[in-house]
């Protein structure tokens, strides 16, 4: 049996998570974990073309893919497999700067990631809800690694960062003293309420050098998707192995540490908790969750 799993750029969070899933399956399956630039959008398009059986995605993209909304050119018969993690996204600044909150970035130079990335779209969504116009600051389009270098040199004032743990953020924090910017009163709650696919995510003290206290940030539910055409038995087997190996996955990639807790939400919230924006769970995934006693 052959499986192709679309992830992100090599070494990215989705790529690391995909490799860990691949390792669960390689005993008796031929698994190819593919680095993919443009991850969420590209993986959905590749599922549509039959080039993948599974793809990692941020949950805010799957509804657009199903409906064929921008940036997708046509409707995709995408289906949910299950959660991957809830990752905190956040802004950092140099610790010796005067920036402490999201509002402090007005009038500053801020790296918001490359234009084609899903992470850039998160900034646009969050700032749109908060009423922060892109005319109120200077957006700079850089990769996470290049943005970290620019922050260190003082060429930018703040940088948007992808969910931790990730090696780029760890390296940045080890090279210079950084500060994670906080949301103002009610701002985080507004973002989560209005967007629908975000959650509150706690970044714990000492998650990387410079985090002196626990902080609450916007968390995105990252998910694993498939296509309606993919065989039910295959999807069921993949999901069943992930359910049975949450500890092994967490040992391999710390991003999976909350996976068991996410699965437990099925018992209290039902299947809809992992059907973001109305994208249904694949029948094979539903069968696996029922077999594991997570759904009735």
| Cα four-point dihedral sign 249, 254, 255, 261 | positive
* Segment holding 41, helix H or strand E: helix 39-48
Tell me the CA distances in angstroms from 275 to 27, 62, 121, 150, one per residue in order: 30, 9, 21, 38
- Residue 4's pLDDT band (cuts 50, 70, 90): very high
Question: Taking a C-beta distance cutoff of 8 angstroms, is the pair 136, 159 a contact?
Answer: no
In the chain, which segments carry CATH 3.40.190.10?
2-86+221-291, 87-220
Parallel, antiparallel, or unpaired for β 109-111 and 54-58? unpaired
Q: Is the pLDDT of residue 284 over 80?
A: yes
* Bridge partners, residue 140, by sequence: 111
- Residue 38's pLDDT band (cuts 50, 70, 90): confident
Question: Taking a C-beta distance cutoff of 8 angstroms, is the pair 111, 81 a contact?
Answer: no
User: What single string gives the DSSP state of each residue in 226-276?
Assistant: EETTS-HHHHHHHHHHHHHTHHHHHHH-GGGGGHHHHHHHHHHH-GGGG-G
Nearest to 34 by CA among 19, 47, 49, 50: 19
pLDDT digits (tens, 9 = 90+) for 230-263: 999 999 999 999 999 999 999 999 889 899 999 9
CA 4 to chain centre: 20
**The tokens of 257 are what?**
């540490």
What CATH code is assigned to 2-86+221-291? 3.40.190.10
User: What's the pLDDT at 183?
Assistant: 97
| Cα four-point dihedral sign 72, 75, 80, 81 | negative
Distance, CA of 23 to CA of 208 (rounded, Å)? 27
User: What's the pLDDT at 12?
Assistant: 80
- Residue 199's pLDDT band (cuts 50, 70, 90): confident
pLDDT digits (tens, 9 = 90+) for 103-138: 999 999 999 998 877 788 899 999 999 999 999 999
Mean pLDDT of 213-229: 94
Question: What backbone phi and psi angles, to 5 degrees, belong to 214?
Answer: -60, 145
* Class of the CATH domain delimited by 87-220: alpha beta
pLDDT digits (tens, 9 = 90+) for 51-67: 999 999 999 899 999 99
- pTM above 0.85? no
């Amino acid at each position: 049996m052959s499986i192709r799993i679309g992830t992100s750029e090599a070494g990215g969070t989705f790529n690391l998570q995909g490799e860990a899933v691949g390792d669960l399956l390689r005993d008796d399956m031929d698994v190819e974990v593919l680095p993919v630039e443009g991850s969420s959008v590209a993986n959905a398009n590749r599922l549509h073309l039959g080039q993948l059986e599974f793809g990692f995605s941020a949950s805010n993209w799957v509804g657009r893919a199903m409906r064929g909304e921008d940036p997708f050119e046509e409707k995709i018969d995408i289906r949910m497999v299950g959660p991957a993690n809830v990752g905190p996204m956040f802004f950092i600044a140099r610790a010796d700067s005067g920036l402490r909150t999201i509002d402090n970035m007005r009038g500053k130079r801020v790296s918001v990631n490359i234009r084609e990335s899903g992470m850039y779209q998160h900034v646009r969504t969050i700032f749109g809800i908060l009423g922060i116009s892109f005319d109120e600051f200077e957006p700079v389009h850089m990769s996470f690694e290049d943005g970290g270098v620019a922050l260190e040199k003082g060429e930018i004032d703040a940088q948007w960062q992808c969910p931790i743990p990730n090696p780029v953020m760890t390296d940045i924090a080890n090279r210079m003293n950084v500060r994670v910017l906080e949301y103002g009163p009610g701002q985080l709650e507004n973002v989560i309420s209005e967007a629908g696919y975000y959650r509150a995510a706690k970044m714990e003290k000492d998650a990387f050098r410079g985090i002196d206290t626990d902080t609450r940030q916007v968390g995105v539910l990252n998910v694993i998707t498939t296509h309606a055409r993919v065989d039910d038995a295959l999807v069921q087997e993949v999901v069943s192995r992930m359910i049975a190996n949450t500890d092994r996955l967490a040992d391999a990639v710390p991003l999976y540490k909350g996976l068991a807790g996410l699965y437990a939400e099925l018992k209290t919230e039902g299947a809809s908790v992992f059907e973001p924006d109305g994208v249904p769970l694949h029948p094979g995934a539903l069968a696996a969750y029922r077999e594991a006693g997570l759904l009735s």
